[in-house]
Amino acid sequence: MSKQVAILTGGGDCPGLNAVIRAATWKLAHEYGYQVLGVREGWRGLLEDDIVELDIGSVSGILPVGGTILRTSRTNPFSEEGGVERLLETVESRGIDAVVAVGGDDTLGVAARLYEEHGLDMIGVPKTIDNDLSGTDYTFGFDTAVQIATEAIDRLHSTAESHNRVIVVEVMGRHAGWIAVMSGIAGGADVVLIPEQELTIEDTCEIIRKRHARGKDFSIVVVSEGFELKSAEGDGGLVVQSEEVDAFGHARLGGVGNLLSREIERRTGFETRATVLGHVQRGGTPTARDRVLATRYGIRASELVHEGRFGRMVALAGDEIVDVPLAEAAGELKRVPPELWRIAETFFG
């Protein structure tokens, strides 16, 4: 019987997941002659044996389509009673030889543990719109999110200017400000607030006052959802939608844009509005760049399976596709370097 390789997509979805599934299925099934299995909804599908067969027919037409045909979840087998045992049972009973896990730090953290602690043959593929994974220069999905955020900033510019308003744009980025800093630079934002750089509410108001004092009647402020909003006295912090956490211990972020908008208006007297981009940044068709990166990742992941080089994650280094230890992805987060933020800062005020 031919080798059986399972593919799963876990964590928050992002544009380009289908491009990985398509590329891996072509390479594994069509070129190497393996049986490809699609695990539904991330690790949940392996816990509950919810698996479908994939072939080049079933992945036809999905390249430009957003989301994931396999669906996704934030299921964590390590936080469920007997979860890992159930997962290993499915692998055993199905005769799965290797798993290609497409995900962010949570999904790849699980993959790394399953490889190291349970000897499961794993290959990781890095995805997240947040671009905060170590071990790779870029994750796919990020370029699309930056493009969407930049288009939004462009549109908000004209309405902000017509009304002499400040508009605060809240973008995603749980621990790192990659989307904010890149879309802020591309969109010409007047202030960019990211988790990596401390600026108080008063600092932000001062930048806006300075800009308005030189004759500008409107401003665009881009803020990451994970930015800690603090007063000069140090009060405040992370803004969460609810105290509830998911299976990986993450709170649901969101709301910093509205809070900041109210504070700016109250302190400066400038009329201010907030726009929260939210999941729009994760939806829809991937950019050409993300389609190509995701396809290259899918192909390289399949080659690693074929070469039997498990416990690795495919990665981008410069313009080359390389592979690094899976554990590297699940290690430290990749933060926005100060020099990149300073480029955005050049245009403040």
Catalytic residues: 130
Does 290 sit near ligand F6P (CB under 6 A)? no
What pairing do the DSSP bridges indicate for beta strands 320-325 and 312-317? antiparallel
Decide if residue 173 touches ligand F6P (CB under 6 A). Answer: yes
The reply on whether position 149 binds ligand F6P by CB under 6 A is no
CB of 27 closer than 8 Å to CB of 305: no
Task: Tell me how far, at minimum, the Cβ of 297 lies from ligand F6P, in Å.
Answer: 17
Q: Determine if 71 is a binding residue for ligand F6P (CB under 6 A).
A: no
Work out how close the CB of 281 gets to ligand F6P at its nearest, in angstroms, rounded to a whole number. 7
Query: Residue 54 phi/psi, 5° resolution?
Result: -120, 140
Task: Determine if 10 is a binding residue for ligand F6P (CB under 6 A).
Answer: no
- For ligand F6P, the binding residues in 229-268 under the rule CB under 6 A are 252-253
In angstroms, give the least distance from the CB of 342 to ligand F6P.
23
Our finding on whether 104 is near ligand F6P (CB under 6 A) is yes
* CA nearest neighbour of 84 among 53, 126, 127, 120: 120
Q: Rounded to whole angstroms, how far apart are CA atoms 173 and 278?
A: 10
Q: Which CB sits closer to ligand F6P, 66 or 311?
A: 66
Phi-psi sector, 218: left (phi>0), alpha (psi -120 to 50), beta: beta
103 binds ligand F6P (CB under 6 A): no
Least distance from ligand F6P to the Cβ atom of residue 228, Å: 14
- Using alpha carbons, list the distances in angstroms from residue 76 to 11, 20, 108, 242: 10, 22, 11, 20
One character per residue 195-234, x = contact with ligand F6P (rule: CB under 6 A): ------------------------------x---------
Nearest residue by C-beta to ligand F6P?
A: 172
Does 127 bind ligand F6P (CB under 6 A)? Our answer is no
- Of the candidate residues 41, 121, 130, 323, the single one contacting ligand F6P (CB under 6 A): 130
Does 176 help bind ligand F6P (rule: CB under 6 A)? no
Q: In what order do the strands lie in the sheet with 272-276?
A: 191-193, 219-224, 166-171, 272-276
Geometric angle at alpha carbon 40, from 39 and 42, rounded to 5°: 85
Check if the beta carbon of residue 123 is closer than 8 Å to that of residue 99: yes
- Nearest to ligand F6P of 250, 306 (CB atom): 250
Q: Using CB under 6 A, which of the segments 43-51, 123-131, 228-236, 258-266 binds ligand F6P?
A: 123-131
For position 128 contacting ligand F6P by CB under 6 A, the verdict is: yes
> What are the residues whose beta carbons fall under 8 Å from the beta carbon of 248, sequence distance 6 or more?
74, 76, 79, 106
Nearest distance, CB of residue 180 and ligand F6P, angstroms? 11
Between 12 and 135, CB nearer to ligand F6P:
12
> Should residue 160 be labelled a site residue for ligand F6P when binding is judged by CB under 6 A?
no
Binding site for ligand F6P (CB under 6 A): 12, 104, 128-130, 172-174, 225, 252-253, 282
